[in-house]
Amino acid sequence: MFVTLEGVDGAGKSTQARLLADALGPDTLLLREPGGTPAGERLRDLLKDGSIDLTPRAELMLFCAARAELVDRVIAPALEAGRHVVCDRFVDSTVAYQGGARGIDPGLVATLNAAAVGDCMPDRTILLRVDTGVAVERAEGRCESPISDRFESEGASFQDRIAAAFERIAAAEPQRVAVVDAAGGVDEVHGRIAEALGL
């Protein structure tokens, strides 16, 4: 089973991805995006560097390049070997951030996502829904992912656009995307995710 976790910065994706991977068993592969390969980690560092000004299209292409490498070298082989894969972010983040929040043409985002992943799409996606004001408060003052480092400083209105884009994705693909309330304690949210996945 290939499961991805999505949501705005501060929704708790990384924590819940770790708990889910533990629940699925020791052979489960836990990944993050961007990253997971030598090239992906280098691209992660580049995307993290706030001193480098990137255009939205360049940002989009860097994320997709890291994703293509991760799919080809790690995710697809793991799934072919019968392993569970849990990934903190995947294609939906690109749709929400670069498409919904940055305003890049949805057709271009879809084309590049498709080129990056081919038919390697998640079986299920957990969208952690949390009030963006709460998420911004959670994210303040912490050092987390490069995605957060680059995007958290954009402010609440940017996060609102991301959240709205995620909601549109969930509404369009209810068979794949399960929306889970991310309010409450860590164990409580984990229980909701397990229930959504039938674990």
Chain-wide mean pLDDT for the chain? 90
**Which pLDDT score, from 0 to 100, does residue 102 have?**
93
Query: Rounded to an integer, what is the distance from CA 101 to the centroid of its chain?
Result: 15
Residue-wise pLDDT tens digits, 50-75? 788 899 999 999 999 999 999 999 99
Question: Cis bond leading into 34, ω under 30°?
Answer: yes
Given a contact cutoff of 8 angstroms between Cβ atoms, the answer to whether 9 and 140 are in contact is no
- Rounded to an integer, the average pLDDT of 147-167 is 77
Extract the tokens encoding 181. 């309330």
Taking residues 13-21, what's their average pLDDT?
96
Selected residue with higher pLDDT from 11 and 19:
19
Arithmetic mean of pLDDT, 108-133: 94
Q: Which residue has the higher pLDDT, 146 or 175?
A: 175
Instruction: Compute how many other C-beta atoms are within 10 angstroms of the C-beta atom of residue 13.
Output: 27
Q: How far apart are the first and last CA of the chain?
A: 12
Taking Cα atoms as reference points, which of 21, 8, 27 lies closest to residue 137?
8
Give the model confidence (pLDDT) of 26-53 as tens digits: 999 999 999 999 999 999 999 888 788 8
Which pLDDT score, from 0 to 100, does residue 146 have? 46
Q: Quick one: pLDDT band at residue 161, thresholds 50, 70, 90?
A: very high
Whether 169 contacts 126, CB under 8 Å: no
pLDDT over threshold 70, residue 149: no
* Helical pair 56-70 and 106-117, crossing angle rounded to 10 deg: 20
Q: Residue 140 — very low, low, confident or very high, per pLDDT cuts 50/70/90?
A: low
Helix runs in the chain, H state only: 13-24, 38-48, 56-70, 76-80, 91-94, 106-117, 132-139, 146-151, 156-172, 186-197
